[in-house]
Each structure stands twice: as structure tokens, then as C-alpha cells.
Amino acid sequence: MAVQNYGDFVRIGPNHLAVGNPAAIETVFGTKNGRAWRKGGLYEGFNMHIPNARTDNFSERDETKAAERRRLVGAMYSQSNVLKYEPCIDRLIDLFRQQMKNLSESGESMDMSVWLERYTFDVMGEIFHGREGGFGMVRDGKDYNRWCYLMSVMPDVGASITYMPRGFQSLYLLSQLVFRNTRDGIVGMLDTVTQAKKAASERWKLMQEGGDYPKTDMLSGLLEMVREKGENINWNFSDVVVEVWSVIWAGSDTTATALTAIFYHLHKHPTKLAKLRQEIDTAFEQGRLENPVRFSAARKLPYLHAVVMESMRIHPSTGAGFPREVPSGGVQLCGTFVPGDVEVLMTAGAVQVDKRAFGEDSHEWIPERWLQDAETVRQMEKSMLQFGHGPRMCLGRTVSETEMYKLLPTILREFNFEILVDRWEVHKGWFNRSKNVICQVRPRNLE
């Protein structure tokens, strides 16, 4: 990365500056100077412009509007509220366990990254589309709607377009349309909006007619806001569609990437895997964990938490940076003056391996670094951008963490996985997608 080769400040465009010093994070993404910096122009390209609806939280550049939207939906993403959806995730974990049992009995090898992506999509299907079993990807072993495939082709094109000067964006898109992947991706993005409308419409009809429907999932919660106080808070059906659409694109692949990184690094470090398994086994023996695994209990396992944090640090889910506009008048950033209206860009892949924040061994996967004293850990946490930082931090973090902390203890306790050939491959684009985690699964002897 440029900042690792050329220093903390690298000009990467006429009005764009890459910054690599973790000490700048709070200034760039926080509210150190009284208010958050405006998001950069890149985010415009992810706005679907759904009629009569607010812009989704990720794409919204206006800080006042973004804060208003967060006030409306933020409670839905609180950890206490997300825990209401644990039974939805439990159903998916049961299906996942069954598929692992089937694969162990057949002796077939499999790509774990594929199964983890199916799992994360199905969780979104359960919680946000109101479908028991999600989209059926884990249950049937299929990529329904081709969403897993679409996530591998469209984000890079979309990001590339938004990074370009406006005059070249249309030309670039037209040039990319000769490729089938691009055409598929555009159709797929539009289809997700259609699917979101369909899910919301079907649920709304059941609610209006007094039919039987899940009362506690996210979809019902969002629609209840429309029914109970929509006019008073200016929240309508189209706003629900935006929320349901956005989580498909923002909430599935990022979590799958993190889970795959955790799984891969653990199985490349057998002693660390054994240490984590011992912690999990002991927790089950002492009754601190039980099936189905509760998030609140799993989150208290210190080594599991260390493994999760270290994997997200060394292999962040997003590869692109998060641009912010420097306020008019400019600022002093880590001792360097940056003029106003310049777009500053910081990437998780750069700051999360910075030696000033994580030590001389920052490029190595060492979970134990997260078991140091509280102040050291707090400083490292301040240098993490896995979920963003400050008031625009990812709202879905609670959902993502709940998915991870529930699945990992379950499958690591019940199954042994052997990576057959190390063909781990990482595509470094908008998402740091990984694949080819080819392994074989066998049941563990728990007696």
C-alpha cells in the first residue's frame, strides 16, 4: 500500500490524500472538532436513489440526514435488540451443522469460504427478509439468486466508477458492459431492490390483514415503525425497502470474509486452534456454554475474542479506503497541514498493520496481542477500521459479531477440519474476498 512504502501522507489524486498514521483516525472519522467530516464523493456511486426514500446509511453524505436516520433505526441494531434474533441464527447454525455432518459422512472435500458465505446470506434472509431458513443456501447448498456470485463481480466495478472523475464515469461503465460479469452485476443489484420490495410487501400485507408472521425479526420491526408512527417521524415503506436492500450488500460478504479469515488462520496455526478448542471445551464442561451457543456467553471467552479481533485486524473485510472531506479552512493532521476540501482516505489494510499501533510483529497473526493489559488493548481498538469509526461506524456490527460468536464455538467444538491443499487466495478489491479454503471435515469425539 502506498502509505507503507512512501510515508504517512501520499497524494493519490489531484485532490485526494492517502493517510497512514493510525493517530489520525479520531480526527478524520470522529467528532474531535465538534462534528464529523463529510463523506467523500465515492459514496454517491452506491446510492440506489429509490424514490420517496431516504438514502441508506452507508451512502448518505449529509451528516445531518445521516444522524437523523441513525436515530430512527439505531435502536433496531442495538445489541439487546439483535439478541432477540438469536433463534433465527440458531436455525441457520443447525442447518450448517447438518451440512458438515453430511460432508463428513460422504468424505467430500469442500471450500469452507463458500459455506460461510452461504451462512451469512441466509442469516440476512432470516432477519431481514423474514424467511425461515434464510434464502435456503445452506439448506440446499446452492447460491440462490446468484447473490454470492454477484458479490464477487459488482462491488469492484461500482467502486472503480465512483473513484473516477464524473466526466469519465459513464464512459468507464460503458466500457465495462462488454464483460458479462458487469452486466450480471448491474442486473443483480436491481434485482436485490425488487427482492427487498417483495419481502416488505408480503410482510406488510400479512400485518394489515392480521395474518400469521414473525413478530420479532428486523423486517417486522421496521414495518411496525411505519404502521405505528410513520407519518410523525417521516418513515415510510420505501425507507424499509432501502434498509432491507442495503443489508444484503453490506451485511453478508463482510461477515463471510471475516469468518473465512478466522477459520483459515486458526487452521494454519494448530497450536492456536488447540488453545481455542480447550477454552471452548472447558466452557461447555463448566456450563458457561451450551447448545445453542448464546452470544453473551461466547463473547466472554477471552481467547475466542482475541482470535476474532486478530483475524479482522490482519485481514480486514474491506480493501478500499473510506474517504472524508477535510473541512473548509483545513486542519493540522498529525503535525501536517491539510487544506480544506481535500479528500482524505484511510484504509484498514494499512493502519491495522501499523507498527506504531500494533508493535514490531504487526504483520504476524498473533491473537495473544489482544490479551495484554487493558490500556494497550484500548489503544489497539482505536486503530481498528474493520467496522469504521466514529458516528458513521457500521450499524450492522452487532449482527455481524453475533453471527460469528455463535457459529465459531459450535463448529470448532463439534468438528475437525483439515485443509487439504493450501490454495488460499485473496482478491484485493472493494472487499478482500478469499476463496479456495479446501478442506475435509470429520466429527470430533466429544466423549
Q: Can you give the CATH number for the domain in which 409 is found?
A: 1.10.630.10
Beta strands at 336-338 and 110-111: parallel, antiparallel or unpaired: unpaired
Residue 388: per-residue pLDDT: 93
Dist CA 391 CA 35 (whole Å): 9
152 in Cβ contact with 188 (< 8 Å): no
Residue 5: per-residue pLDDT: 73
Residue 223: per-residue pLDDT: 94
Domain extent, residue 18, equals 2-443
Q: How far is CA 404 from CA 30, 122, 166, 297, 360, in A?
A: 27, 13, 39, 13, 29
Dist CA 10 CA 423 (whole Å): 33
Residue 436: phi and psi, rounded to 5, are 65, 45
Residue 148: per-residue pLDDT: 86
Structurally, how many domains does the chain consist of? Answer: 1
Residue 1: per-residue pLDDT: 62
Q: Is 148 annotated as a binding residue?
A: no
Residue 216: per-residue pLDDT: 80
Beta strands at 16-19 and 343-346: parallel, antiparallel or unpaired: parallel
142 in Cβ contact with 244 (< 8 Å): no
- For residue 351, give the amino acid letter: V
pTM of the model: 0.94
Tell me the average confidence (pLDDT) per consecutive run of 10 residues in the chain, 447 residues long.
78 91 95 84 82 90 92 92 93 98 96 96 90 92 87 75 75 83 80 89 92 86 92 91 86 91 97 98 98 98 99 93 92 94 94 96 98 97 95 93 98 97 83 91 89
